[in-house]
Amino acid sequence: MNHSLHSADRSTHLKIVVVALVAGIAVAAFGISARTGADYEQTAQVVKAGKPVVVTSSSTSTVR
């Protein structure tokens, strides 16, 4: 049994690649299923502009 990846044979490298590929697909599938199973939805709310408004204040006190 080799404990080094550098001296491993071709079948060992192939097993490592297959296991990594299967693990990657499993993580991606879990992420997609967790995202689409949400109970909330995001909706855009449009705010339309109304009539122009002028704001003035005549009740200010002046300190001299």
For 22-41, what is each residue's pLDDT tens digit? 999 999 999 888 776 556 66
pLDDT higher than 90, residue 47: no
Q: Identify whether the C-beta of residue 20 lies closer than 8 Å to the C-beta of residue 13.
A: no
Chain centroid offset of residue 59 CA: 51
Q: Can you tell me whether residue 4 is helix, strand or coil?
A: coil
Rounded to two decimals, what is the model's pTM? 0.50
